[in-house]
Amino acid sequence: MVKQRKFLIILMFILVFTLSLTSNKTFAASPSGTGNIGTRYTIPYNQGNADVTFFYPSVVYRENTHTLPVHINLTDAVGSTSKVNYVKEILVEERPLVPGTPGIQRWIEVKNIYNDNYLETSETSKTLNLYIDIPTSGSSATVKIFGMRYNFGITTPETFPEYSNYTMQLTFNTPIELTVDVVDGETNPPVITGNHIYEGDVNNPPTLEELKASLTATDDEDGDLSEDITVHYEDYLGNEMTVGNRNVHFIVYDSAGNSDYFEMIVRINDFEVPTLTLRGSETVYHEVGSNYSDQGVIFNDNYDPSRTIFLNNIVDEDTLGTYNLTYTASDDSGNTAEAVTRTVIVRDTTDPFVIDNIRNISTYDSFNESIDDLLSDIRVYDNYDGDITETMTIETDNYSSNMDTPGFYSVIIQASDSSGNQLSHTITIEVKEDESPVFTFTSRFIELSEYTLMTIEDIKVFIRNLN
């Protein structure tokens, strides 16, 4: 009998434990007119400097599912040298497994079930269903919170705005008690159904009425209560034109005062693709050897005023060729603009030239110099190919047939660079008459008999000495 009794006790304990784990987690039904209580705890200045506020209904029904909806909000306190980054867990003493025994303390993760992030400062609020020991008689029930684990950063005037981050476990000297009134009433609350995440467009953000219209509410007794859904909490209005996540929480009551609470995250997205427009022409011709500076593009987006623009190529100003400059850019939401491309053609349009611009050459009719000899000092140069004298040809030659006839004769030379630019250069060659020298004597004649006895050198000396 003793063994049977022990077995029954153990069996009852397992049954109670199983029921506690499988209890319906629908938010507690609240009587009509129930208000919210806000209990705030301020994390010390040197340990994070933030306010954690617990919101919960002031009254619940006795016949409810023994869960209390606790809405947690984290905000920065005044100051910039210490800040809480996120809250990870809270230490809660919940209702006992066996009535009349001490409660159970456990750490509960404070995560946003829609994006799996911990509760972050000034970004996301979170509602948890905490088990509460609702008595069969009596007018109140309490959930106790004994501490929290969180991540915070500290900076100094020397290191600001860089923060050193730490993980902190904080145990409250006096537990935070969330106490609610308990009253008798109908047990079955209404149920709100719909998507917990609503995707919106920043160009046409949804209104609160449109958000509400996406939900339905039903009740066993009252039927369709969709029209009775109201906004209970929101940080959306005033931020609907800002890309990011916002919270809108709805509540509905049935005629017996039971309520259901529904959390919705409104994701405002930017779906519009930005545009890139070339400044200037799509095709640009650029002279080789000169500096090139591209005119760039104009970036236009409905939301992001300016973005980093990427260019995939450069122009080699000193090398002939075709260069495609492609611009790309994306906005903060990842929308990628259609790429635009400018074609830059580096070309050589400069004609070759004759160094020193030689235009005139002279010779004597007795020299009979060839045209090649006369032009041997002419050098032709190109801005890209360099010395191209070897490409020089004679287009017109009026000299060669008149080299022994005094006069002026034109010669036209030509040359081409690798880009086909042509040189046509005219040179005038003057052929001068080569006359014999005339000797003038003033005082003497050379006798033939003397001449026959004089060498050529003697005659030169004789002439120089004449007066």
Per-residue pLDDT tens digits of the chain, which is 467 residues long? 434 444 333 333 333 333 333 222 333 445 555 667 778 878 777 777 788 888 888 887 776 556 677 878 777 765 557 777 778 888 887 665 555 666 678 888 877 655 567 777 655 567 777 777 777 677 888 888 888 888 888 877 777 778 788 888 888 888 888 888 887 765 678 999 999 999 999 999 999 999 999 999 999 888 999 999 999 888 999 999 999 999 999 999 887 777 888 999 999 999 999 999 999 999 999 999 999 999 999 999 999 877 788 898 999 999 999 999 999 999 988 899 999 999 999 999 999 999 999 999 999 988 889 999 999 999 999 999 999 999 999 999 999 999 999 999 999 999 999 999 999 999 999 999 887 655 555 555 555 555 556 777 777 777 777 65
Cα–Cα distance measured from residue 324 to residue 251, given in angstroms and rounded to the nearest whole number = 59
Query: What is the domain count for the chain?
Result: 4
Note down the domain range covering 214. Answer: 191-269
Read off the tokens for 301: 């987006």
Question: Is residue 328 domain-shared with residue 389, that is, in the same domain?
Answer: no
Asked if residue 442 belongs to a domain, the reply is no
For strands 164-183 and 59-61, give the pairing: parallel
- Supply the pLDDT for residue 1: 43
Identify whether residues 251 and 309 lie together within a single domain. Answer: no
Shared domain check, 427 and 391: yes
Confidence at residue 306, expressed as pLDDT on a 0 to 100 scale: 73
pLDDT at position 319 is 95
Structural domain contains residue 394: yes
Whether residue 289 is found in the same domain as residue 364: no
pLDDT of residue 377: 92
pLDDT at 25: 31
120 and 203 both lie in a single domain? no
Taking only the tens place, the pLDDT of each residue in 240-265 is 999 999 999 999 988 777 788 899 99
Distance from the Cα of residue 371 to its chain's centroid? 69
| Residue 461 covered by a domain | no
Is residue 68 one of the residues assigned to a domain? Answer: yes
pLDDT value of residue 16: 32
Query: What is the pLDDT at residue 439?
Result: 54
Would you say 182 and 57 are in contact if contact means Cβ atoms under 8 Å apart? no
User: Same domain for 159 and 37?
Assistant: yes
Q: Is residue 379 part of a domain?
A: yes
Can you give the C-alpha Rg of the chain in angstroms?
51
Residues 157 and 36 placed together within one structural domain of the fold: yes
Phi first, then psi: give them for residue 339, nearest 5 degrees. Answer: -65, 145
Q: Tell me how many degrees the CA angle 131-133-136 measures, rounded to the nearest 5.
A: 140
CB 462 within 8 A of CB 441: no
Same-domain status, 136 and 261: no
Instruction: Report the alpha-carbon distance of residue 427 to residue 438 in Å, rounded.
Output: 33
Indicate the SS3 state at residue 213: helix
Of 295, 312, 347, the residue at which a domain comes to its end is 347
Q: For residue 55, what are the contacts with CB-CB under 8 A and spacing of at least 6?
A: 36, 37, 38, 70, 71, 72, 73
**In this structure, are 216 and 302 located in the same domain?**
no
CB contact at 8 A, 138 and 73: no
How many C-beta atoms lie closer than 10 Å to residue 19's C-beta?
A: 11
Residue 446 within a domain: no
DSSP assigned state of 78: S
Q: Report phi then psi at 245, rounded to 5.
A: -100, 135
CA–CA distance, 365 with 167 (Å, rounded to integer): 106
395 and 246, same structural domain?
no
Name the pTM for this structure. Answer: 0.54
For residues 389 and 336, membership in a common domain is answered with: no
Which of 210, 234, 269 is the endpoint of a domain?
Answer: 269
Residue 441 belongs to some domain of the structure: no
CATH number where 88 lies: 2.60.40
For residue 356, the model assigns a pLDDT of: 94
Q: Both 288 and 332 in a single domain?
A: yes
What is the Cα 131 distance to its own chain's centre? 46
The domain that contains 421 carries what CATH number?
2.60.40.10
